[in-house]
Amino acid sequence: MGLVADDIGPVLARDRFLRGGPVEGSVRDLILSSWERSRSLGLSPDGCELPYAEDLDLDGRLVRAAGPVLDRLQAMFAGRKVNVSLADGRGAVLQRRFGDPSMAERLPAIQSTPGFVFAEKFGGTNGIGLALTERRLVSIYGAEHFAERAQSNACSAIPVRDLLSGLIEGVLCLGYPPAEADAAIGTVIRRAAGAIEQRLLEQSSARERGLLQAYLDARSRMPAGDGQLGELGASGLDWRDQMILKEKATELISSAQRAAVEVHLPGGRHVTLVSRPVTSASGVEGVVIEALLPSRHQRLAVSTEAAPPPGLPAHEGLVHVVPASGLLSGGAVPGPASATARPPGPPPAAAPPLAPHEPDAFSVAGHLTADGHAPDGTAGGLVLVGEPGVGQYAVAARRRLELLSEASTRIGTTLDVSRTTRELAEMAVPRLADYVTIDVPEAVLRGDEPTDPCKDLHRTVVHGIRDDCPFYPAGERVELKPVTPQLRCLTSGQTVLEPELRAAPGWIAQNPVRARRLLAHGVHSLITVPLLARGIVLGIASFYRSRDPAPFGDDDRSLAQELATRAAICIDNARRYTREHTMVLALQRSLLPQGFPEQNAVEVAHRYMPAESGVGGDWFDVIPLSSSRVALVVGDVVGHGLHAAATMGRLRTAARNFAELDLPPDEVLTHLDNLVGRLDREEGGDDPSGDSTGIIGATCLYAIYDPTSQQCVMARAGHPPPALVHPDGSVEFPDLPAGPPLGLGGLPFETAEFHLPEGSQLVLYTDGLVEDRRRDFDTALEQLRGALAHPDRPPEDTCREVLATVVPEHPADDIALLVARTHTLDPHRIATWDLPADPSLVSSIRSAVTRRLSEWGLDELGFSIELLLSELVTNAIRYGTGPISVRLLYDRTLTCEVADTSSTSPHLRQAATTDEGGRGLFLVAQLSQSWGTRYVPGGKVIWAECALEMPGGKSGADGEHMAFDIDLDDIPAI
């Protein structure tokens, strides 16, 4: 019982551990950690000598509270070999009870006589010592004990706390033979410890009642008419006013000073609170807070004497919060109040003491007479009575609740793992700890789920009240040794408290030199908490204390665990978002152009910037078209995430496919509009649940630039208009017909045509560049205009300037930017012939083409071009209608165009061996690298592109034709 594995018993596991062998997985982590601590303390199984404490408080409040409970346990286990013991907070046994009375004679003195200290540092792994170390219920069976003398025993032990302060007052332990082990023992010992804790609380209530009675006795002896208790509720104080008074009264009690303060209430009203010292018949000293309602509205001036002499320590007791129907309204004295939320940690340092009550110790101008009493006509009532130390607990409890409330709004403000861990540290310092370090596996920072949180830890945050404390610096990899509290925390998933780091060998063993330096800086107490979310350990947070000399307590541990739990959920959300964001961003970038094909029409630069909140569906493209033209496309899919990125990829692919058909911009948008509508219907338009992920909307701008005519035709579907930068530096946003967003259907798109001189810049962008909640739209356009007003700047520099000056500080939407500087195909590289539909003129066209090819230095292409043009012109004469136009374009390829006024489109077909025709287009396809048909308003154009061995040059910067071409391909390598 108590073992993890079945293949090895506790005796063998303990023997293997003592010989230095591995036992991980063979015993519980709780026991193994205690064994390791015992060994690091230099203890030996047969030499655990327990000290004897002479200064036992055998009549203290713990013994008085536990006496009846111990008697009840003794009666419950009558006749059984059960040893019931009560130890104090240091592990010294105060009381023992035996189910079988004869056990007291048979057991050795160390197990039967009160006074021996069973702390883990003396006795190794045992019930009392381990309960104090782990600060929770523990059970130890037989060989799990470290000392030899306890090998035949089993025990269960649980800390007993003061419900008011949260401190461990002692330990209740049940010892029994291993054969008597029963799951019900855990229930019994929990209920018994709870009963002792409740009796401790009742003792505190009795102290408070004594204070209250002393105050009432003093009031009854006052002369009639001097500050009698009145009805506060009758003076217009509702429950909100009374809550304000109670909160301020608690602070006055915790300050342990005689004072009178004016409390302002809503509506311009004010009430004076007066604190008075009082001593009960049993000698308990406390503070009473009275509320005085002045008969007339006047300012309050308080004059106090020098600090009162010492004499009153901070007692532990219960702050009596009087209900609205009780003494605050002049009612009867209430009974004991129930305990409220308690603050963590040990009792605070003693507050400034109170002197015995002297009526002339202070005077309140306008509200108290010279002898310290309220003047006639002043109504008042008791608000609170309690002890200063308890008041400090109440104030601390409220402040810690405020810390948790604030943490819920300040931790997790962003979906960034590092920033979230930083926010946790900033919340904890200095209100909980003086220094915080947070270690997170590298996988979590990448957004992945850690496979082993104990490996590949990186110091993510170091934050504290000083910057020179010698912790491992942020960014450094942290290797934890097995005995460290941090590794114990990671492996067990439980919070670990080390109240005294000087007595924590596991923490010191991590790095003794650095540990000494930390101790020299005053660091003395540690809480290490796993960042646990959905059962996954995402890292570890360590809280250190240095300025406050008191060590961390259990309530500090609870508060740290609550903060870490909230932060862990935020970290997990940020990690999962990071993973999804990285995945979607990778998908987005893979779907965007990885590079643009070579073309001479425009010089292009582009940028894509995802939003801070997630990747969206912005996209752009540059698509070469026939006859040296180029299409420029920018689009935006509404929404963010994987669905938006996938939809973007589908629309970009569709746009390229439609562009291959050589359609004008308005027809391309019409096809995209139909596609978006169809996708929207297919992806959830018929889903009755309303949970569809259909496309909410998309916008697009499609432009075609022709370098032969310097004309640009464009159309847009709900997209922002482009910016045109003219060669003289002027910038305009053309009035382009808007058109509806894609997916609405049923509405036509309109085109607009613009002349772009060589060197103009066409700037296409998505709305994320200019739309921002914190900036006016017109202001953004003016910023964009200023960034673009430099016509001689290369497109790459233009992109950098736009991103530096126009992009919002925190982009809420994706941004796609495409800058294209236009070029012109030199007129010397364009040859055009017009001829009627006469078959006899085909030979003359061949001759003219041959001469022009010779002028261009392309004689080697003469035969294939003559044959190709003969077929195209013959088809135009035979199947089309005149007039016929022939054009040659000498660019990166040689393009042959034949235009006629017919709309009949030729089709490539497989001719049979007996067919006389049908082979012309087959020859065209074989002689060219690509060919097709482009429809124009006056008919159609059949074009064919032939590859050149040397890429055609583009016109120079001055627009003049290159006089010669140099082929360097034949130069041998060195």
Of 255, 352, 275, nearest in space to 310 by CA: 352
**Top-confidence residue, 954 or 938:** 938
**Top-confidence residue, 742 or 236:** 742
pLDDT digits (tens, 9 = 90+) for 508-550: 989 999 999 999 999 999 999 999 998 889 999 999 999 989 8
**Top-confidence residue, 557 or 613:** 557
Q: Return the minimum-mean-pLDDT range out of 327-331, 444-448, 449-453, 558-562.
A: 327-331
**Top-confidence residue, 194 or 923:** 194
**Three-state SS at 50:** coil
Residue carrying the six token digits 């602070």: 251
Residue carrying the six token digits 């982009």: 811
Q: Read off the pLDDT of each residue in 292-316 and give the average, rounded to a whole number.
A: 39
Return d(Cα 143, Cα 17) in angstroms, integer: 12
Give the start-end residues of each E strand in 809-911.
Answer: 815-822, 830-835, 884-890, 893-900
Q: What is the pLDDT of residue 180?
A: 83
Q: How far is CA 817 from each of CA 23, 355, 630, rounded to the nearest angstrom?
A: 62, 77, 17
End-to-end Cα, the chain, rounded Å: 82
Q: What is the pLDDT of residue 912?
A: 54
CB atoms within 10 A of CB 95: 18
Return d(Cα 872, Cα 870) in angstroms, integer: 6
pLDDT digits (tens, 9 = 90+) for 458-515: 999 999 999 888 999 998 999 998 889 999 899 888 899 999 999 888 899 899 999 9
The runs of H, that is alpha helices, within 830-900 are 842-855, 862-879
Q: With a cut of 60, say whether residue 968 has pLDDT above it.
A: no
Q: Read off the pLDDT of each residue in 39-68 and give the average, rounded to a whole number.
A: 90
Sign of the alpha-carbon torsion through 191, 193, 197, 203: positive
pLDDT digits (tens, 9 = 90+) for 756-782: 999 999 999 998 898 887 788 888 889
Q: Read off the pLDDT of each residue in 397-417 and give the average, rounded to a whole number.
A: 84
Of 137, 136, 90, 98, nearest in space to 115 by CA: 90
Q: With a cut of 80, say whether residue 110 has pLDDT above it.
A: yes
Q: Return the minimum-mean-pLDDT range out of 62-66, 370-374, 498-502, 905-909.
A: 370-374
**Three-state SS at 320:** strand
Q: What's the pLDDT band for 910 if we cut at 50, 70, 90? A: low
Q: What is the pLDDT of residue 223?
A: 56
Q: What's the pLDDT band for 888 if we cut at 50, 70, 90? A: very high
Q: What is the pLDDT of residue 918?
A: 58
Q: What's the pLDDT band for 320 if we cut at 50, 70, 90? A: very low
CA 95 to chain centre: 51
DSSP state of 743: T
Q: Read off the pLDDT of each residue in 746-755 and give the average, rounded to a whole number.
A: 90
Bridge-based pairing state of the strands 168-176 and 83-88: antiparallel
Check if the beta carbon of residue 635 is closer than 8 Å to that of residue 591. no
Bridge-based pairing state of the strands 711-717 and 752-755: antiparallel
Residue carrying the six token digits 């909307």: 697
pLDDT digits (tens, 9 = 90+) for 217-236: 776 665 544 444 444 555 56
Q: What is the pLDDT of residue 818?
A: 94
Q: With a cut of 90, say whether residue 596 has pLDDT above it.
A: no
Return d(Cα 46, Cα 148) in angstroms, integer: 6
Return d(Cα 247, Cα 369) in angstroms, integer: 26
pLDDT digits (tens, 9 = 90+) for 329-387: 233 333 333 333 333 343 333 333 333 333 322 223 333 444 444 444 455 577 777 77
Return d(Cα 271, Cα 544) in angstroms, integer: 42
Q: Please give the model's pTM, rounded to 2 decimal places.
A: 0.60
**Edge-to-edge, what's the strand order for the sheet holding 893-900?**
830-835, 884-890, 893-900, 939-947, 930-936
Q: What is the pLDDT of residue 960?
A: 40
Q: Read off the pLDDT of each residue in 7-14 and give the average, rounded to a whole number.
A: 78
Residue 880, phi then psi, degrees to nearest 5? -100, -165
Collect all residues with Cβ–Cβ distance below 8 Å to 598 and sequence separation of at least 6.
892, 951
Q: Both tokens of residue 230?
A: 């009145």
Q: Return the minimum-mean-pLDDT range out of 213-222, 548-557, 919-928.
A: 213-222
What angle in degrees, to the nearest 10, is found between the helix axes of 239-255 and 388-410? 120
Identify the top-confidence range among 322-326, 436-440, 868-872, 916-920.
Answer: 436-440
Return d(Cα 858, Cα 123) in angstroms, integer: 101
Return d(Cα 543, Cα 435) in angstroms, integer: 6
Q: What is the pLDDT of residue 723?
A: 94
pLDDT digits (tens, 9 = 90+) for 625-664: 999 999 999 999 887 777 778 888 889 899 999 998 899 9
Collect all residues with Cβ–Cβ distance below 8 Å to 694 and sequence separation of at least 6.
679, 680, 681, 683, 684, 685
Q: What is the pLDDT of residue 118?
A: 95
DSSP assignment of 355-420 equals PPP-TTSEEEETTS-TTSPPPTT-EEEEEEEE-HHHHHHHHHHHHHHHHHHHHHHHTTSSS-HHHH
Q: What is the pLDDT of residue 762?
A: 95
CA 655 to chain centre: 38
Q: With a cut of 60, say whether residue 607 has pLDDT above it.
A: yes
pLDDT digits (tens, 9 = 90+) for 673-732: 998 888 888 776 555 555 555 556 789 999 999 999 999 999 999 999 999 999 999 999
Share of the chain above pLDDT 90, in %: 36
Average pLDDT of every residue of the chain: 80
Q: Read off the pLDDT of each residue in 947-969 and give the average, rounded to a whole number.
A: 46
